[in-house]
Structure 1
């Protein structure tokens, strides 16, 4: 089956604090630079599974940009959608961990090359070759990017394709007014919705914390597939007709960044490829576990063979 998946958004380098609770207000040591950006990690994971993957983004004409393009191309991502901007610099992010589940970020995405990505950078002829489009909430930090997402949705839906949406909420970005407005627009076109359990309340539209009631509201607005990521506890799937809950694969956490991106890429790819929901969930859980087993946001992306080997070891 010819699975073709496109996405767009931030492509940057990331530096990771070496010590927990290191903070940014005094000198400290960092690992990096590593290729990063939630859409880029998603695209890389799709490609490593063996499916056609396309990323639209922008980088600067610098070593960080070269590193990102080289890495994605090596792993099989179509990088024709990545524009190199001569008068901008590649985005960067610094990450510090307060615990395995809590992170602080400092990033310059709005003022970097990827922050200049706009609808004008979308090659419509190229995008029409892809039947599925994935949206990351972390990419909705400017009107330019939101307009690009709107254009991509229109093209893919007009072509009979499907849309997946991972809200990927960053607390540092919740103050951006246009982001919450964009969420509402995107949900109207979403076929696959992939929040974490911690993000689900944000979309509850009421004070109810009843998961099934929130999911029912999402179904009522036309979202066919709701997939809830629960980290080490696995994941759940809800459609109007069925529910599935699949346990995770426990591993030592080295770096949690990228786990949700790898989970989403694996579930969407394998579901579209015809895997059953429980099987797609199990593979996605394993992909998330492999992602957190390596240091660096994109260093834990995995092949289908690697995913199956982890599942074999723990089953």
Structure 2
């Protein structure tokens, strides 16, 4: 792939409300602490993450015709994300999510998709008129499956490198996988894609092989503090993680995928782009709120230079 190609993101935007505490039982009210508000949505997070690492990034997302939608457009312009394709949909709210963090920093999330649910395949086709090959197409599943599938199909046909981050985890039509060059599930999402329980005990390597058997070019499974596993025609490669103090895991996957896309767009090999992705994911969990935690180039370089990755 030629270096310095563009990254095209088809995905979601939303606002998020965080609170630290335990999940209440039905009818129960509990006191929490540390309330915070921030920008979110996997598409937006990943686009910003890629742009902070130097990628030329264009975004298609749906937002409401409300104050949150207006603030999103301001955010993307400030971050250098090209957002002229974003759909601001009338009489529809911007996506909102509520995140409960426990004392260990693990999260539980519930969302209302709002305008993201009204992003269509036709919108993708209009956006695709701006795509150039070589390039990177990155999408996720906080938008309708048929919309993400159309983006992947067009990207594949145009000769782009297509990346599907299958989050949140859900079953997909089998024909989608043939249009995916790089699939980036976490361990539970990989199992859900295969129709298994999220905590199924099959080995990660076996699951990656089964996902490749569906027609995927490469599977890059994120393993949390254990790094990432790459499965491709050349075999398996384990990429180590970087040790950090975990504060909030919410944005780790988005930081990883944004850095992966930016790395590939700059001409890195898949393995090297995944290494930078693990570094970005590690840095993202050291702060609260996703967008403030997305690292820039200097932070990733410093981490990779000063800390040894751990298997």
Match of 1:20 in 2: 21
Match of 1:11 among 5, 9, 13: 13
Greater CA deviation, 238-247 or 281-290?
A: 238-247
Match of 1:232 among 225, 233, 244: 225
Q: Residues 181, 200 of structure 1: CA spacing in aligned structure 2 closer, same or farther, 3 A cutoff?
A: closer
Alpha-carbon contact 1:100-1:256 (below 8 Å) kept: no
Alpha-carbon contact 1:233-1:248 (below 8 Å) kept: yes
Match of 2:101 among 97, 116, 125: 97
Alpha-carbon contact 1:12-1:91 (below 8 Å) kept: yes
Q: Supply the RMSD in Å over aligned alpha carbons.
A: 2.5
Gaps of 5+ in 1: 140-144, 171-178
The offset of 1:244, in angstroms, is: 2.0
1:178-231 Cα shifts (integer Å, max 9, x gaps): x5244x332121110111123333344688813333333333333221111111
The answer as to 2:301 corresponding to 1:308 is yes
Cα distance in 2 between the residues matched to 1:255 and 1:21 = 15
The answer as to 2:1 corresponding to 1:2 is no
The answer as to 2:82 corresponding to 1:78 is yes
Q: Residues 314, 208 of structure 1: CA spacing in aligned structure 2 closer, same or farther, 3 A cutoff?
A: closer
1:136-180 Cα shifts (integer Å, max 9, x gaps): 1333xxxxx23322332232222111211111235xxxxxxxx52
Alpha-carbon contact 1:244-1:277 (below 8 Å) kept: no
Alpha-carbon contact 2:21-2:33 (below 8 Å) kept: no
SS at match of 1:138: coil
The offset of 1:295, in angstroms, is: 1.2
Match of 2:171 among 176, 180, 190: 180
Alpha-carbon contact 1:3-1:269 (below 8 Å) kept: no
Matches within 5 A, 1:193-204: 193-204=183-194
The answer as to 2:158 corresponding to 1:156 is no
Q: State TM-score, norm by structure 1.
A: 0.85
The offset of 1:40, in angstroms, is: 1.0
Number of residue pairs matched? Answer: 298
Q: State TM-score, norm by structure 2.
A: 0.86
